[in-house]
Structure 1
């Protein structure tokens, strides 16, 4: 160990001169003077504090400089204006928040580049993370329906993916050949019109590895520049175009997206009328035939009986609360009912009709008697001794006013009735007072899962981490790297978590629908805002000459014609629901903003059921196609 250093506290009048070296606890600090402060390394300061860059220009120039210095301000402004613009409609046609955000962001970044020479560049890690949040939230929503969708339309989803991929490749590759575009443009068109940036990497890999040798008179750098220019032009136009096309495809072919979405939800739910365990909305309180009513005891048939005795005499209307002289009497003491007590009952409205005053006494409006807190909870059956017994054989389930709202087995809703049997691993959705629900949960060997406003950060982060690692796992075949992709990996992680919860609600959650919906909407639109900032300058650099017109035409054709044809095949050949065919087509086009557009239009997330299937298939095929488009060019 080094020698101990003695620190002397300076007196109040003492000054520490600039340039003095202080040694504190073994750490050397240099107090810079004025000249030294001006030449201090800003990267060192930036490691401790975020530096605030000054705005040196006035007017609009200063405004765009501010957005360059503060990327978060750019993202928030794009989100605000884009959402506002997207909310306007003309004859029921609107851009939607995602397309609006993209349009605003691109216009801002292009204006900054063209008018003031300011090139926006926001770190891609922000956009990537926001996209992954969107994909995970979406996976949570559609997870229970995903495997049902595979069973119902897996072949159709695969065929739609093949149609979209093959038509896109043919249009972009042979379109560039027909016009006589230079090498690199075809690969850039495929990458931009498919909105898969990784295709550029595959094309560049073919160049650097020697698998493709540029012809005489053109360098590899020029081929790379051609790819980037084609990508930038086709990417922006394709992204806006596909959002509008996917949004209105059902309407174009004469379908009602909202009505078809409801039909699809019913078809993929297997006839279930309640959300599966752990799903958003599963623990929402909803009106039912069971009500609370309060009565003043005046009938001799009730006076002198204990609460437990009355429960046996009238099991259809359990007592939830007993008031005496304005105070609550604990039911755990099994008190005997006295004249003028007030009893709070819960039961089916039809069964409560008998309490019209002739059996108990007149009805009371006492607020304390009528304000019994009710809960909704899910309980996983964990006791083997009750397996095989029916609900009617378990009177304790109805004790204290607990009622069974729904019964699930292996994620599927079962018909509910007195003879419905319980098995180990089933899930019961119960309503009633919290204490009574807790008692029932203990008896059947489970734990009551109640609604909560708490977040599920632990499950979210672990599941996203697993999905991300699966997505980046790469296998190289014949020089072509193949990976599932982080987006596909994370959405499948969300699907897996929600699938497990549908079997056992103890597996994390419950997910608050407001939080899940916020992650979905904000995540995607923030991703698009960052994307627009980085793409705008590339569009400016690609402008000029007749080439841009051909790039725009071919890129738009390659982006829009394939999903249009695939949608027609889906509804006419395979007989798919229009919203399901639309979701499969946007998955085949790898368009997450397009998926959000049809979900907004249909008011449902059911379009996301086929999305991961066609998305994963075409991601792989697009990389193969991009590699060969470079070699064959």
Structure 2
């Protein structure tokens, strides 16, 4: 054991990976529905390993933190700038006000309790579950005109306060929004009814828009043999599809076999008795058609044809700003279904009146030739790849870091975004550029996960290791009262957001819940809210406020240091 400890001191990179291993493993453990989460677990393991007096030298911590911040900005960039448009301004205003309440709550209670700069920054980071504040505040403290000893003392206090307040920041946010939130908006039953009404208004009911439902209802292909008198001496393919659509069933003829020969499907192809047809559509509509068209046939040759699912990025020049219903009516959408919509990594309900934004990733499915033709019309086919455009990433971080390094001196205090804040802003701009010109700057989703999660947790691991020797002393100094203070700083912005959404902005209850979760960047709370109200509609208010909240709350790491 002594040899292992000595090796961890000689090779601190091994201590970092030990912390990552144990932190991720503990973060997956759950007691009921509660878990510490990866970030908190990595921090606490780092503190524990840090008791061995392990020193991590060099810029490793900063490198990983810059990668993380660029990834955050890249992910939310399209929605951040989309929110600046007229229809998104109310949600932007809501997010800005709520973020200001978050900052002022942390600042006021820190002043009342007599917390120092580091404790105040940790309080903000943990109570608002915005881990990046740790790094941004640390950069700002390092730029202050104080002694190195004071800087070290303040910086070591940040993870202590963060760890104490983060637990309620995560679990408490989900409880407040999912349990207390609906009560403040008129009661759970009323909010559920309002969400169902919104779904119906946006075209989710089977009577209005039967072709649109949650993605868990798959598109299927089934073959039937015609023996119905309706076909008489013959009906065109277009006649059959029009009839089925008139019955509220969005089905398409994909293949036809006549006299043993599989023929190319054309709108004017005549269908007659004993012909075999393949229909595509939602499972619940295709099953049962044998009662009308004829018996189902299990024919491997007839059903063996290329079907494809493609991810498509919608661009400003294609269908950005249009509804799903409008896109569905286009001729090129014949035989093609939209399975999912992802916006800033969040699944948005596929409803008829859902408005598609530039940068949205749509997943479309159908026959290979139909899907590819439709995808080219809808936007940029973002085929799966394992290559990250590192030229794009490297250039973005360099430009952002240089801009962030610029500073102004007010009253002898240097004020700047710091290199970390600059990397965040660069990520926003470069992510937005990618949504406008998707032919370059691609970062595959798995790579984005690595930059985001590994970047943050490597940084947190180093923070924990550095804070380890002083963590216990710092915990004794802040006391258990910090937990209660953190709970207040968590609750005040959330309750304020719910009340502002209802009375000031007069949002729909579903949007109020989604906007409040988004401005606090708490995806776990969004999931809890959707489970509580039994609807996905709160996600419609999440993405714009999430982009604004992610940006402002990180920048608050600079502001709260200067305010204290």
TM range (shorter): 0.5 to 0.7
1:74 matched residue in structure 2: 15
CA distances 1:409-430 after superposition (whole Å, capped 9, x unpaired): 9x9999738xx99999999875
Distance 1:597 1:392, change over 3 A: closer
1:311 matched residue in structure 2: 238
- Aligned pair 1:242/2:183, yes or no? no
Matching residue within 294, 298, 305 for 2:223: 294
Offset, 1:481: 1.8
CA distance in 1, matches of 2:460, 2:485: 23
Q: Highest CA radius of gyration, 1 or 2?
A: 1
Distance 1:516 1:421, change over 3 A: closer
Larger RCO: 1 or 2 (CA < 8 Å, sep 6+):
2
Distance 1:557 1:620, change over 3 A: farther
**Is the partner of 2:96 in helix, strand or coil?**
helix
CA distance in 2, matches of 1:552, 1:392: 57
Offset, 1:80: 1.4
- Aligned pair 1:534/2:475, yes or no? no
For these two proteins, the number of residue pairs brought into alignment is 487
**Is the partner of 2:65 in helix, strand or coil?**
helix
Question: What aligned pairs does 1:209-608 form with structure 2 within 5 A after superposition?
Answer: 224-229=148-153, 231-232=155-156, 234-250=157-173, 256=179, 286-288=215-217, 291-296=220-225, 309-311=236-238, 314-315=241-242, 316=245, 317-323=251-257, 329-331=263-265, 342-347=276-281, 355-356=289-290, 359=293, 361-372=294-305, 373-378=307-312, 380=315, 382=317, 396-399=331-334, 401-403=335-337, 416=352, 430-440=364-374, 444=377, 447-457=379-389, 459-496=392-429, 506=438, 513-537=445-469, 539=470, 548=473, 552=475, 555=478, 563-574=486-497, 575=499, 608=546
**Is the partner of 2:47 in helix, strand or coil?**
helix
Gaps of 5+ in 2: 125-133, 204-212, 246-250, 501-511, 531-538
Query: In the alignment, is the contact (CA less than 8 A) between 2:513 and 2:529 conserved in 1?
Result: no
2:64 matched residue in structure 1: 130
CA distance in 1, matches of 2:93, 2:407: 28
Offset, 1:84: 2.4
Distance 1:198 1:555, change over 3 A: farther
1:105 matched residue in structure 2: 46
CA distances 1:548-576 after superposition (whole Å, capped 9, x unpaired): 5xx54554689656644333432445526
Matching residue within 579, 596, 618 for 2:556: 618
Query: In the alignment, is the contact (CA less than 8 A) between 1:142 and 1:495 conserved in 2?
Result: yes
**Is the partner of 1:120 in helix, strand or coil?**
coil
CA distances 1:344-376 after superposition (whole Å, capped 9, x unpaired): 2224668757953764x4321123433441324
1:151 matched residue in structure 2: 93
Distance 1:382 1:323, change over 3 A: farther
CA distance in 1, matches of 2:79, 2:262: 46
Distance 1:236 1:330, change over 3 A: same
CA distances 1:582-606 after superposition (whole Å, capped 9, x unpaired): 8867x9xxxxxxx798789889987
Question: What aligned pairs does 1:183-198 form with structure 2 within 5 A after superposition?
Answer: 195=134, 196-198=137-139
Offset, 1:294: 0.9
Distance 1:498 1:599, change over 3 A: farther
CA distance in 1, matches of 2:361, 2:39: 38
Alignment RMSD, CA only?
Answer: 5.4
Query: In the alignment, is the contact (CA less than 8 A) between 1:251 and 1:257 conserved in 2?
Result: no
Matching residue within 156, 160, 163 for 2:102: 160
Query: In the alignment, is the contact (CA less than 8 A) between 1:172 and 1:554 conserved in 2?
Result: no
1:48 matched residue in structure 2: none
Distance 1:303 1:491, change over 3 A: farther
Question: What aligned pairs does 1:3-82 form with structure 2 within 5 A after superposition?
Answer: 60-82=1-23
Distance 1:476 1:305, change over 3 A: farther
Offset, 1:434: 2.6
Query: In the alignment, is the contact (CA less than 8 A) between 1:291 and 1:346 conserved in 2?
Result: yes
Query: In the alignment, is the contact (CA less than 8 A) between 2:237 and 2:271 conserved in 1?
Result: no
Distance 1:450 1:227, change over 3 A: closer
**Is the partner of 2:381 in helix, strand or coil?**
coil
Distance 1:84 1:429, change over 3 A: closer
CA distance in 1, matches of 2:438, 2:150: 54
Query: In the alignment, is the contact (CA less than 8 A) between 1:374 and 1:433 conserved in 2?
Result: yes
Distance 1:477 1:101, change over 3 A: same
Q: Which moved more, 1:517-526 or 1:245-254?
A: 245-254
Query: In the alignment, is the contact (CA less than 8 A) between 1:188 and 1:230 conserved in 2?
Result: yes
Distance 1:63 1:150, change over 3 A: same
Distance 1:558 1:482, change over 3 A: farther
Query: In the alignment, is the contact (CA less than 8 A) between 2:140 and 2:558 conserved in 1?
Result: no
**Is the partner of 2:404 in helix, strand or coil?**
helix
CA distance in 2, matches of 1:380, 1:448: 7
**Is the partner of 1:151 in helix, strand or coil?**
helix
CA distances 1:50-103 after superposition (whole Å, capped 9, x unpaired): xxxxxxxxxx22101222333332222111112223334456544322222222
TM-score, normalised on structure 1? Answer: 0.60
**Is the partner of 2:62 in helix, strand or coil?**
helix
* Higher helix proportion: 2
Distance 1:256 1:321, change over 3 A: same
Query: In the alignment, is the contact (CA less than 8 A) between 1:406 and 1:416 conserved in 2?
Result: no
